[in-house]
């Protein structure tokens, strides 16, 4: 299996080529489990999650169509449109890439939908260890608060331990912006565990 660095190089090269051939500026950054690992979470992950933006009428579909032509035939691509159901939490177009030869891990490319996501993408800096942009911690926390899974919560708690006060405050601001501030507060200040009492009447 190719390393995360090799996988990110494949993605980065594709985005660079897309920009050159279409004359459109694009942004991409690492999110998800690997980004959480970079920021201090101790966890296992198999998929490589990224977020992508290009300023045109159909950013997800246009990049998908281009990738179908660019990537070798052993890569299988799917394009899934964001749900129109207001009760469905999945609100992003998504491109998935799987390698039939199983040399590369699965790659998910989430298409940016919200202004705050684009802000995070614009602020993402390329890190030397990966040679790829990583979404800043506050924006990753916001994404994980919205996702709402147990692994996401554990990632948040691990990242918070490594944060400066300034970064934590920014995370709290973003949590409020995405209407998850109460959820973050509960995560950071869990209620005390109830005292476990003996029940003599249940003894044999």
pLDDT band of residue 194 (cuts 50, 70, 90) is: low
Q: What is the mean pLDDT of residues 23-30?
A: 97
Q: What's the pLDDT at 196?
A: 67
Q: What's the pLDDT at 90?
A: 64
Report which of 62, 63, 64, 33 is spatially closest to residue 50, judged by C-alpha positions: 33
- Give bridge partners of residue 108 from the DSSP assignment: 49, 96
pLDDT in tens, 131-147: 999 999 999 999 999 99
**CA torsion 132→108→37→112, rounded to 10°?**
70
Q: Is the pLDDT of residue 70 over 80?
A: yes
Q: Report the 3 state secondary structure along the chain.
A: CCCHHHHHHHHHHHHHHHHHHHCCCEEEEEEHHHHHHHCCCCCCCCCEEEEEEECCCCHHHHHHHHHHHHCCCCEEEEEECCCCCCCCCCCCCEEEEEECCCCCCCEEEEECCCHHHHHHHHHCEEECCCCEEECCHHHHHHHHHHHCCHHHHHHHHHHHHCCCHHHHHHHHHHHHHCCCHHHHHHHHCCCCCCCCCCCHHHCC
Number of C-beta neighbours around residue 167 at 10 A: 17
Q: What's the pLDDT at 88?
A: 63
Residue 51 near residue 110, CB atoms below 8 Å? yes
Report which of 115, 134, 120 is spatially closest to residue 170, judged by C-alpha positions: 120
Q: Is the pLDDT of residue 13 over 70?
A: yes
Q: What's the pLDDT at 20?
A: 96
Return the higher-pLDDT residue of 189 and 170. Answer: 170
pLDDT band of residue 52 (cuts 50, 70, 90) is: very high
Average pLDDT value over all residues in the chain: 92
Q: Where are the domains of the chain?
A: 1-135, 136-189
pTM: 0.89
Q: What's the pLDDT at 116?
A: 96
Tokens of 5: 């660095």
Q: What's the pLDDT at 119?
A: 97
Q: Which residues of 95-115 are buried (b: 16+ CB within 10 A; e: fewer)?
A: bebbbeeeebbebbbbbbbee
Alpha-carbon radius of gyration of the chain: 20
Return the higher-pLDDT residue of 12 and 198. Answer: 12
pLDDT band of residue 87 (cuts 50, 70, 90) is: low
Q: What's the pLDDT at 165?
A: 95
| Range name among 32-36, 37-41, 71-75, 184-188 with the lowest pLDDT average | 37-41
Q: What's the pLDDT at 191?
A: 76
Return the higher-pLDDT residue of 10 and 198. Answer: 10
Fold adopted by 1-135: Beta Polymerase; domain 2 (3.30.460)
């Amino acid at each position: 299996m190719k390393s995360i660095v090799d996988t990110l190089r494949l993605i980065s090269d594709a985005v660079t080529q897309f920009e050159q051939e279409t004359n459109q500026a694009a942004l991409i950054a690492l999110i998800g489990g690997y980004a959480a690992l970079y920021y201090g979470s101790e966890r296992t992950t198999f998929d490589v999650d990224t977020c992508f933006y290009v300023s045109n009428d159909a950013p997800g579909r246009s990049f998908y169509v281009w990738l179908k032509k660019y990537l070798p035939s052993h890569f299988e691509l799917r394009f899934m449109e964001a749900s129109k159901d207001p009760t469905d939490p999945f609100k992003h177009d998504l491109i998935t890439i799987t390698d039939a030869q199983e040399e590369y891990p699965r790659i998910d490319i989430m298409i940016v939908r919200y202004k705050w996501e684009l802000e995070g993408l614009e602020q993402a800096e390329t890190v030397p260890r990966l040679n790829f942009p990583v979404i800043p911690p506050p924006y990753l926390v916001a994404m994980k608060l919205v996702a709402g899974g147990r692994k996401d919560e554990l990632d948040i708690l691990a990242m918070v331990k490594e944060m400066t006060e300034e970064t934590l405050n920014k995370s709290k601001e973003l949590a409020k912006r995405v209407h998850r501030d109460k959820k973050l507060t509960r995560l950071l200040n869990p209620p005390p565990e109830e005292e476990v009492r003996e029940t003599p009447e249940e003894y044999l």
